[in-house]
Chain A
Amino acid sequence: EAGVAQSPRYKIIEKRQSVAFWCNPISGHATLYWYQQILGQGPKLLIQFQNNGVVDDSQLPKDRFSAERLKGVDSTLKIQPAKLEDSAVYLCASSPPRGVGTEAFFGQGTRLTVV
């Protein structure tokens, strides 16, 4: 079974520039998550999708971050404009339909450095 795919693996941008990350979840997984992991901290949930609808985006800085999940499969997370404090690893995860399993499976992440 293929895992969660993310791209790019690494990205360096200047502050005030924009950046986008892509995620392809495990086939059949209805729930998709974007997490932000700042160095030395645990992953922080940014947004949770159920199919292509948003379940929770309470911690997404909506003035600069946006995310979409088209057709309930792939997802993109965008930052515009980026700030220095956005430097982090952005992790995408997916989980199976409810009742099948409850753990989330993570991709390798995208390491963003804002200079």
Chain B
Amino acid sequence: DQQVKQNSPSLSVQEGRISILNCDYTNSMFDYFLWYKKYPAEGPTFLISISSIKDKNEDGRFTVFLNKSAKHLSLHIVPSQPGDSAVYFCAASPSGTYKYIFGTGTRLKVLA
């Protein structure tokens, strides 16, 4: 039972353009959502998060949008840079648990 889904295994974007990574979830008890970035042979690195009481959080080039009614969140990267090429994981935490449930990841390739 995959509670956090990333339906696009890969995405290619030109340098300077916008990258949009999507994530869907099924559990309405999730109240905190995170995005992690992972380079080969390294552990995931925290990127940005959003609480369920918000619908948008921005940090520099990275913006996360949350649509609770659709149980959907997205990560926007503008402008995309070659160094952004990595696997991006969406994660969600059920209320009060501090437990993180991960999606399967989307491999982003930013073309120079």
| B99 / chain A contacts, CB cutoff of 8 Å | 33, 45, 48, 55-56
Q: Count of A-B contacts with CB under 8 A?
A: 55
Given contacts A42-B104, A102-B49, A102-B93, contact A31 B98 (CB under 8 A): yes
Contact A103:B98 (CB < 8 A) given known A41-B104, A42-B105, A108-B43: no
| Nearest A-chain residue to B43, judged by Cβ | A106
Residues of B within 8 A of A35 (CB): 102
- B window 50-108: CB within 8 A of A: 89, 93, 97-105
Cα A93 to Cα B89 in complex, Å, equals 15
Interface residues in B, total, Cβ within 8 A: 23
Are B43 and A102 within 8 A (Cβ)? Answer: no
A91 contacts B49, CB within 8 Å?
A: no
Q: What residues of B have a CB within 8 angstroms of the CB of A40 in the complex?
A: 104
Over the window 9-52 of chain B, the binary record of Cβ atoms lying under 8 Å from chain A Cβ atoms (1 yes, 0 no) is: 00000000000000000000000101010000111111001000
Which of B32, B36, B45, B89 touches A102 (beta carbons < 8 Å)?
A: B32
Interface string of A10-33 (1 = CB under 8 A from B): 000000000000000000000101
Provide the bound-state CA to CA distance between A109 and B43, in Å. Answer: 6
Interface check A62, CB cutoff 8 A = no
Interface residues of B (CB under 8 A from A): 4, 6, 32, 34, 36, 41-46, 49, 89, 93, 97-105
